[in-house]
Each structure stands twice: as C-alpha cells, then as structure tokens.
Chains A and B, each alone.
Chain A
C-alpha cells in the first residue's frame, strides 16, 4: 500500500518568505508527527497530532512555526518569515496509534537562502 508522502521533496525559498510543507499519512493512521533534521543530527520532534488536534506542540521552536490537520488526515506545516536557520529536512511520520511504530515519509528538504 501507499506509504507516507511529503510534498514538495525540495523547497528553496528566500529569507523572510512563507512556506507550506505537506504530509499525506498512511490512510487510517490517527497519529501524525513532524520532525526537523539537520545534517549529522537525529530528527528533532516538532509537533504531534492525534486526530485533528495537536496533542503536543512543545517542539515547535517559535511562533513562526504552525501546523494544522483539519480533517485528521493530511497535515500542513507552515513557516512564516523564514530564516536561514530553518534550513533542514522536515520529516513527517504517521502511526496507527500513539506510542507505536512510526512510518516516515521521505522528507522535504527546505533551503532558505
């Protein structure tokens, strides 16, 4: 079956611009996670959704970052006023239940010039 998909695969933007990153989880998975991974580092937790609600957004670095999952399936990570330090690979994962195995998408590589 289809796995987790993320679009775009690559995004290049200029400092100060707004970007949206999309995640399509595996159908039926209630839990959805966003991570950010910098070169040579492990994934850094950003936010976790259970259904439509954000169960834990403690990993979002500041108020420029926001994520939604309005219908409990597709999620969008939104970054306002991008900064060069936001450059990273943004990973999405879904799980059939919380605290279980996560299935990762291929990631979106964001480059802020």
Chain B
C-alpha cells in the first residue's frame, strides 16, 4: 500500500501537554501534508513539507520529515481543547494524494 499510516491510532493527553503523531509510508513522495478533521466536518490543511525539507513550523505545529526512514511526525505544542480532532497525513506522489487512517487526538480538560 502506498498510503501513509499514522501512529498511534488514538491519543489522549492533558490540556497543555504536547502531542506527537507519527506517519510512515512506503514509496517515494513529492511532498507530505498533514490535515485535521473535526468530527463530521471537512478536512483542514495544516502544513505541507516537501521531500527536500526536513522540518517546518507553523504556530504551535512542528512537522519533521525523514525520507531515509520514510516517516514524518507532527508535534502540537501546548495543546488546547480545540485541538481535539482526527489528524491525517497524506503522501503526495505523482498526481495523487493518499491519506492514512488518521490519529484521533483527544485533549482532556
């Protein structure tokens, strides 16, 4: 399968803690993207990291990419209740974007 696979499948942490989600894939990629999906709603793009980049930041988000290990991680610092959602990595190869099954993140008050 070409799809990215997120790990863990589910994660519960206390508000204020950092959350780390991982994504592994099997093929070469053009770029890798992370998306968030709140229950019952559309996906929201968070960040795109190109295959020649190793790390990107956006606000409280930090994404790393290790093409040698075919893996990426998404770090959310100082988590908030509003961060409760499902997070998906999506690998972009040729003209196709393939999503993983996602990590369901729950921020506890």
Contact = CB atoms under 8 A, between A and B. Distances in A.
* Residue with the greatest number of chain B CB neighbours at <10 A, chosen from A4, A58, A101: A101
A104 B95 contact: no
Contacts, number: 55
A25 B48 CA distance: 20
A104 B96 contact: no
A12 interface: no
Chain B interface size band reads 20 to 34
A105 B42 contact: yes
Contacts of B88: 42-43
B41 interface: yes
A106 interface: yes
A99 B42 contact: no
Interface residues of A, number: 27
Interface string A19-54: 000000000000001010000111111001010000
A91 interface: yes
B102 A100 contact: no
Contacts of A44: 99
Interface of B: 3, 30-31, 33, 35, 41-45, 48, 88, 92, 94-102
Please provide the 6 A-B residue pairs with the shortest distance between their CB atoms, ordered closest to farther: A42-B99, A104-B42, A104-B43, A106-B42, A43-B99, A101-B45
